[in-house]
Amino acid sequence: MNTLISGVPLTYYLSLAAAMFAIGVLGVLLRRNAVVIFMSVELMLNAVNLVFIAFSKSMGIIGGEVIVFFVMAIAAAEAAVGLAILVAIHRHKKTVFVDEINLLKW
Amino acid sequence: MPEELQPQSILFFILSGVCIGSSLAVVLHKNPVISAVSLVLSFFSLAGIYAVMNAIFIATMQVIVYTGAIMVLVIFVIMLLSLREETNLEIWRNPVKQIAIVFVVCIFGGILVASMNFNPEIGNGDPIESYKFLIQNGQNSGVEVKGNTASVGASTFLQYLLPFELVSILLTVAVIGAVVIAKRDKLNQS
């Protein structure tokens, strides 16, 4: 276990990832605009990627970087499907604010 | 804690400051277009942090996939939907949002404390310069490559081949699904 990555302690990378994840959660909980909520989810995915790379470099195991590559592919798929759903909802309801979308309410 | 400040540490602090600042701008700015541009800046600085960590392949992929592909998609959708600005966030008046902020602070503190106390003994800690894959056929044959990109590539195609193929199926399904969902419904068109 190597606690220094390029001269920077592992804890700093983990703290940065924690801050980014917390900001992402904040965005999901506070914002009403579905596109901004979507971008906050991307922010959380990037925080997790940073943790994967930090531990991969710290432990000397290459698998973490491969998994980050897979996470990026899945984020791309999620972006395509999520934005398509947003476009479809906007066509029906003429809004993307999540408190005005109540299609499942009866 | 390093004694003298190395150029990599300075780069890390600058880039992480830019990253956190632009992430806050994503969440707190009212205009979604400015949020998207701040998110591009955040992804760029994160790519710089990956480069500081010597993960060159992932840094390149961060720039190409996230800032090149995903963010262009997001900005196109923002322009398609012609979003209006949100009204004031009013964080301190709404009790649900106050609870949300307390919740987020608890998450942040918990992760911070956990990461400070983290000290496992896994792996040998050697920096990754090469990757070796042994083929299990009784002989001592194997593949060994040098360099970050070659190591990630060899690991992807030798050790993680099945997940790689499954991701390709997932991407195909996602593309077809996105087209089907976003297509105009012919029955309701009238």
Q: What is the pLDDT of residue A104?
A: 78
Q: What is the pLDDT of residue A81?
A: 92
Report CB contact under 8 Å: A8, B43: no
CB proximity A38 to B under 8 Å: yes
pLDDT digits (tens, 9 = 90+) for A30-72: 888 889 999 999 999 999 999 999 988 888 888 889 999 999 9
Contacts of A45 in chain B (CB under 8 A): none
The residue among A42, A72, A50, A81 whose CA lies nearest residue B65 is A72
Q: Which residue of B has its CA nearest to A26?
A: B104
pLDDT digits (tens, 9 = 90+) for B17-71: 999 999 999 998 888 889 999 999 999 999 999 999 888 899 999 999 988 888 8
Beta bridge partners of A5: A8
**CB neighbour list of residue B88: distance below 8 Å, 6 or more residues apart:** B30
Q: What is the pLDDT of residue A6?
A: 75
CA distance to partner chain B, nearest, from residue A104 (Å) = 17
pLDDT digits (tens, 9 = 90+) for B95-138: 777 787 888 888 888 877 877 776 666 555 555 667 777 666 66
Nearest to A65 among B36, B58, B174 (CB): B58
Task: Provide φ and ψ at B44, rounded to 5°.
Answer: -65, -45
**CB neighbour list of residue A3: distance below 8 Å, 6 or more residues apart:** A9, A10, A11, A58
Quickly count helices (H) and strands (E) in chain B.
Answer: 7, 2
Q: What is the pLDDT of residue B18?
A: 95
Spatial distance between the Cα atoms of B144 and B135, rounded to a whole number of angstroms: 11
Spatial distance between the Cα atoms of A101 and A97, rounded to a whole number of angstroms: 7
